[in-house]
């Protein structure tokens, strides 16, 4: 059963990046889930799912719409995150595949690989608008809602007032959580504002420089193309780093030109237009696998860095052959998810 007319759902409250969590008291800490942010609502026989931008996602996740319409509560607005377990891990890539124009494909995927909704805030129950209520009251209402309506599709995100427990979640998840969110317990829900704090869970990896792209004027290196070796010994392209100052780019090019040449990447290659170059098919040049860099990344999807990485340092002490895919921390696994929810 699909949603009818979209409900008037607010834009989500957002977070600003911080270097460390604010200390207690007065704060609630929650895991930062790696999925699609979603404001959901039901009004009788109508239900909807809205993205961070305010667009409806209901047609892409019919199984979540059905779960919302199956609740005992007939009128509510909740804040949460769409997640999708697939192949032993939570897969952001599988979520992206749902954003497809073909309804038949969406319906098939919703049956074969159903998504879940991780709930972490309550904005309205019945006729009561709770956006002006403090977080402590909204959280209590959310827990009552979940106790009455929770299911395998509608999950309750853990929360704590202890910063130490929050940081322990990162350890128990194998480092695969996206980070920690901190919210003031006396704060009302501020739609569209960056009123929360976000501690991102950054990690580092040693990568082979398998190629590069030049700047538009051809006088410098615009980005380094990164590779990791798989078990078969092939060097696969996994992402890029371009965090260099303008004055460093000519010197970087001078370092790379003497080792320009094959083999470059021997497995997956950068190709042309991609998620990394914003659809621009600018040419790249292969390098002999001699240079190793350490980069900082946030998430891995499909064996690749989802976003651009930050250059940390050169690693002349490390052999290129030591840079393998098994050093990457992948998506959160369902068993690890269960440990967090049971904690």
Q: Which residues are catalytic?
A: 32
Beta-carbon neighbour count of residue 259 at 10 Å? 13
CA distance to 23, 120, 143, 186, per residue, from 26 (Å): 8, 17, 19, 7
d(CA 287, CA 184): 50
Q: Is 196 helix (H, G, I), strand (E, B) or coil?
A: strand
Tell me if 112 sits within 8 A of 147, measured CB to CB. Answer: no
How many CA atoms, within 13 angstroms, populate the side-chain half-sphere of residue 302?
A: 13
Largest CA distance in the chain: 70
| Residue 48 bridge partners (DSSP) | 41
DSSP characters over 217-241: TSSSEEEEEEEEE-TTS-EEEEEEE
d(CA 212, CA 8): 47
DSSP characters over 65-115: HHHHHTSS--EEEEEEEEE-EETTEE-HHHHHHT--S-HHHHHHHHHHS--
d(CA 61, CA 272): 31
- What lies within 8 Å, CB to CB, of 267 at 6+ separation is 227, 230, 232, 234, 235, 236, 237
Q: Is 126 helix (H, G, I), strand (E, B) or coil?
A: coil
d(CA 101, CA 299): 26
Specify the residue for token string 């159903």: 114
């Amino acid at each position: 059963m699909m949603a009818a007319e979209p409900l008037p759902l607010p834009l989500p409250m957002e977070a600003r990046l911080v270097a460390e969590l604010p200390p207690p008291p007065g704060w609630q800490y929650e895991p930062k889930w790696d999925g699609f942010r979603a404001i959901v609502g039901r009004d009788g026989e109508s239900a909807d799912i809205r993205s961070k931008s305010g667009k409806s996602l209901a047609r892409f996740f019919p199984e979540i719409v059905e779960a919302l319409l199956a609740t005992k509560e007939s009128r509510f607005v909740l804040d949460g995150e769409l997640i999708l377990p697939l192949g032993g891990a939570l897969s952001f890539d599988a979520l992206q595949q749902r954003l497809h124009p073909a309804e038949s494909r969406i319906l098939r995927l919703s049956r074969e690989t159903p998504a879940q909704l991780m709930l972490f805030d309550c904005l309205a129950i019945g006729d009561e608008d709770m956006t002006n209520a403090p977080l402590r009251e909204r959280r209590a209402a959310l827990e009552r809602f979940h106790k009455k309506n929770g299911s395998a599709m509608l999950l309750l995100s853990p929360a704590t007032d202890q910063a130490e427990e929050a940081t322990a979640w990162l350890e128990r998840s194998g480092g695969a959580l996206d980070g920690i969110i901190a919210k003031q317990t006396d704060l009302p829900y501020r739609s569209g504002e960056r009123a929360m704090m976000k501690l991102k869970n950054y990690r580092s990896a040693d990568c082979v420089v398998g190629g590069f792209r030049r700047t538009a004027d051809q006088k410098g290196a615009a980005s380094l193309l990164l590779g990791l070796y798989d078990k078969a010994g092939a060097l696969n392209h996994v992402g890029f780093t371009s965090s260099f100052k303008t004055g460093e780019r000519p010197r970087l090019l001078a370092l790379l030109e003497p080792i320009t040449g094959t083999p470059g990447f021997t497995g997956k290659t950068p190709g042309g237009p991609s998620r990394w170059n914003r659809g621009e098919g600018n040419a790249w040049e292969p390098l002999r696998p001699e240079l190793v860099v350490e980069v900082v990344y946030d998430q891995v999807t499909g064996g690749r860095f989802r976003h651009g990485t930050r250059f940390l340092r050169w690693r002349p002490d490390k052999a290129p052959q030591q840079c393998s895919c098994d050093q990457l921390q992948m998506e959160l696994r369902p068993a690890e998810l269960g440990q967090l929810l049971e904690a």
